[in-house]
Structure 1
Amino acid sequence: MARGQLPAELVDEEEPCDEQELYDAVLEQLRECGYDSVTMEGIAASTRCSKSTLYRQWKTKPQLVAAALRSHRRTRCIDTGSLTDDLREAARAAGELSGRDTRLLQALAHAAPQDPELERALREALVEPEIAALKEIIRRGVERGDVPADHPALEYIPAQMFGVLRIRPVLEGEDADPDYLVRFVEAAVLPALGLT
């Protein structure tokens, strides 16, 4: 073996890559560049994972992106004791993440419907936890008697909250930040429920 040469058994050895670091890098690249611009090569270059490791573990870009989305699934439990305050807090919490989540949703908007696994992961990571949290807030509010169970506006609360999160950047070029979302809840959601 020549001086400075590695033994053959070490040449192909790969450093283990940190999965969470990898997932964070994938999601950040999606937010910054969009889905089409993200490549396995680019991800490998920006992390300590080799391209062969990525392809061996995930096979395709949609599988890797789906895994990254699932790794960031979060749950939220808001319980202030009143439906009015719970909805304000839910708006504030959604507003704190709106810029990051909105860019991620926009990056995946056209790709997800073309790949069932990617679409499922997007729903599991960003949509379903938020809807579940809102439904739990509503359920507790109904149980406490804050609003009648048959109030016709209850079923539209998730659509209202998600709608404003997605559309404000399109209409006004700004994210739906916490202040904006709380004002929206106070001006539109609470009055629709007959709450102040």
Structure 2
Amino acid sequence: MTSQAADEPETVVASRRSKLTPEREQEFFDAVLEQIRECGYDSVTMDGVATSTRCSKSTLYRQWKTKPQFVAAALRANRQVRFVGIDTGSLAGDLREVARAAGDWSGRDTKLLQALAHAVTQDRELQQALREALVEPEVCALHEILRRAVERGEVAADQPALEYVPAMMFGILRVRPYLTGEYADSDYLVRFVEAAVLPALGLT
């Protein structure tokens, strides 16, 4: 056979066959993350995602090789920063807005964090992708909010509680479902900020 396809290296042909549009790729990413939220990481399979998105399993494996690589790519593609841009002019106001923003997405993201909790201890790439997508952007935004408060003189630079604000915010998001069976909504998080975070920073 002398066709052009026959003469080309196999990797080139495979690359052409696996070409996906950004919209189709995002459809795969949305499907796998939603299935993880609903069924847990271990229950999700490439077969299941292929069936729900009406594609062949070979298409998914050609693109991402393994389930952890696929999920890591999905997390990175869905990276969002909710706390960036919050600037009310006061630390108390900023942290209340952080609480409201966190409450708006706590159900979906907390469920995803819970579903991936064990898997990320087994796969470093998946762990890093989770941090890049859901943790580090928000922590950096919180640090910026706190830095501005220090510059305004609202809180001392050596205030010991400053270091623990991200841990307090992420901790309450993770732990409330275990304590009460409910996710931390905006009202609950605002009350938490007022009762625990602000007093820890020496604010009322």
TM-score of the superposed pair, with normalisation by structure 2: 0.87
Q: Of the candidates 87, 94, 115, which is equivalent to residue 86 of structure 1?
A: 94
What residue number does 1:104 align with? Answer: 112
- Supply the distance in 2 between the matched residues of 1:182 and 1:33 (Cα, whole angstroms): 30
What residue number does 1:181 align with? Answer: 189
What residue number does 1:56 align with? Answer: 62
What residue number does 1:151 align with? Answer: 159
**2:46 paired with 1:35:** no
Amino acid aligned to 2:138: E
The 3-state SS of whatever aligns with 2:74 is: helix
Is the Cα contact below 8 Å between 1:142 and 1:148 reproduced in 2? Answer: yes
1:107-162: CA deviations, max 9, x gaps?
Answer: 10001110010011011111111111111110111111111111111101011111
Give the superposition deviation at 1:87. Answer: 0.5
Give the superposition deviation at 1:100. Answer: 0.4
What residue number does 2:147 align with? Answer: 139
Amino acid aligned to 1:168: R
What residue number does 1:113 align with? Answer: 121
Q: Of the candidates 1, 20, 25, which is equivalent to residue 19 of structure 1?
A: 25
Give the superposition deviation at 1:187. Answer: 0.4
- Supply the distance in 2 between the matched residues of 1:194 and 1:120 (Cα, whole angstroms): 34
Is the Cα contact below 8 Å between 1:93 and 1:178 reproduced in 2? Answer: yes
What residue number does 1:10 align with? Answer: none
1:33-89: CA deviations, max 9, x gaps?
Answer: 000010000001111432111100100000000000001111232111111100000
- Supply the distance in 2 between the matched residues of 1:14 and 1:147 (Cα, whole angstroms): 54
Give the structure with the larger helix fraction. Answer: 2
Is the Cα contact below 8 Å between 2:18 and 2:62 reproduced in 1? Answer: no
- Supply the distance in 2 between the matched residues of 1:144 and 1:15 (Cα, whole angstroms): 51
Q: Any stretches of 5+ residues in structure 2 without a counterpart?
A: 1-16
The 3-state SS of whatever aligns with 2:160 is: coil
Is the Cα contact below 8 Å between 2:18 and 2:63 reproduced in 1? Answer: no
**2:203 paired with 1:195:** yes
Q: Of the candidates 108, 128, 141, which is equivalent to residue 136 of structure 2?
A: 128
Amino acid aligned to 2:65: K
Amino acid aligned to 2:132: E
Following superposition, which runs of at least 4 residues in structure 1 exceed 6 angstroms of deviation? none
Give the superposition deviation at 1:15. Answer: 9.5
Give the superposition deviation at 1:14. Answer: 8.3
Same amino acid, percent of matched pairs:
75
- Supply the distance in 1 between the matched residues of 2:192 and 2:107 (Cα, whole angstroms): 17
Q: Any stretches of 5+ residues in structure 1 without a counterpart?
A: 1-12
What residue number does 1:8 align with? Answer: none
- Supply the distance in 2 between the matched residues of 1:99 and 1:29 (Cα, whole angstroms): 15
Given the superposition, is the C-alpha separation of residues 15 and 194 from structure 1 closer, same or farther in structure 2, using an over 3 Å criterion? closer
Give the superposition deviation at 1:91. Answer: 0.9
- Supply the distance in 1 between the matched residues of 2:55 and 2:133 (Cα, whole angstroms): 23
